[in-house]
């Protein structure tokens, strides 16, 4: 199980070149949601992962780590 987790982590970091990714970049590919729908669900805390933002005006972010 640990090997799978590390491989997934390395693949995600290679794809995005960062450990923190804007939710709008991954919402369609990984959740099948439009960016606006993903943002609305993040606001309601209804995503299967934790999304956060640094201020009320900033976009939601997701940590791949």
- Alpha-carbon gap, residue 9 to 19, rounded angstroms: 9
Contact 31, 42 (CB under 8 A): no
Task: Count structural domains, the chain.
Answer: 1
| Per-residue confidence band for 6, with pLDDT thresholds at 50, 70 and 90 | confident
- Alpha-carbon gap, residue 52 to 26, rounded angstroms: 14
Question: Which of 24, 60, 62, 29 is CA-nearest to residue 43?
Answer: 60
Average pLDDT of the chain to the nearest whole number:
90
Whether residue 1 is predicted with pLDDT greater than 70 in this model: the reply is no
For residue 54, the enclosing domain spans: 2-63
> What is the per-residue pLDDT for 3?
58
Work out the end-to-end distance of the chain between its first and last CA atoms, rounded to an integer number of angstroms: 15
Report field, pTM of the whole predicted structure over 0.85: no
| Per-residue confidence band for 34, with pLDDT thresholds at 50, 70 and 90 | very high
Whether residue 36 is predicted with pLDDT greater than 70 in this model: the reply is yes
């Amino acid at each position: 199980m640990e090997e799978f987790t590390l491989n997934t982590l390395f693949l995600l970091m290679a794809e995005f070149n960062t450990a923190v990714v804007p939710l709008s970049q991954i919402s369609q590919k990984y959740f099948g949601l439009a960016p606006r729908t993903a943002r609305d669900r993040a606001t309601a805390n209804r995503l299967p992962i934790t999304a956060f933002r640094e201020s009320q005006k900033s976009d939601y972010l997701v940590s791949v780590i």
